[in-house]
Amino acid sequence: MNCQEAQTQLSEYLESSLDALRMKSIETHLLGCPVCRAEADGLADCIQEIARLPIVDPRSNRVLGRGYSRRSDSPCRCKLAPLS
Ligand SMILES: [Zn+2]
């Protein structure tokens, strides 16, 4: 597995939605590849951040929900830089 293969499947890997064989091969790749491991870490942050997103009422465009604050030290790149 090369980096591109690993990175295209990172989000599925983090959601554990790959089959066992692919999970294992990505896991193995991450162990030996600091670049992809950093990518996986960043993506995991993004996934957590998205899970914490407040519900927005589309009619008023107001943010519902409380306690949401964006961590400025970890800018989420999910939408800005989709994995290719
Ligand atoms: Zn890699």
- Contact criterion met (CB below 8 Å) for 19 and 52: no
The domains of the chain, with CATH numbers, are 3-66 (1.10.10)
Q: Could you give the CA distance from residue 10 to residue 16 in angstroms, rounded to a whole number?
A: 9
SS3 76: coil
Token pair 């162990």 is at which residue? 31
- Give the per-residue pLDDT at 72: 47
CA 51 – ligand 1 centroid, Å: 26
CA 57 – ligand 1 centroid, Å: 40
Q: Who surrounds ion ligand 1 at CB < 5 A? A: 3, 6, 33, 35-36
State pLDDT tens for residues 34-81: 999 999 999 999 888 888 888 777 777 666 555 544 444 455 555 555
CA 11 – ligand 1 centroid, Å: 14
- Contact criterion met (CB below 8 Å) for 30 and 6: yes
What pTM did the predictor assign? 0.60
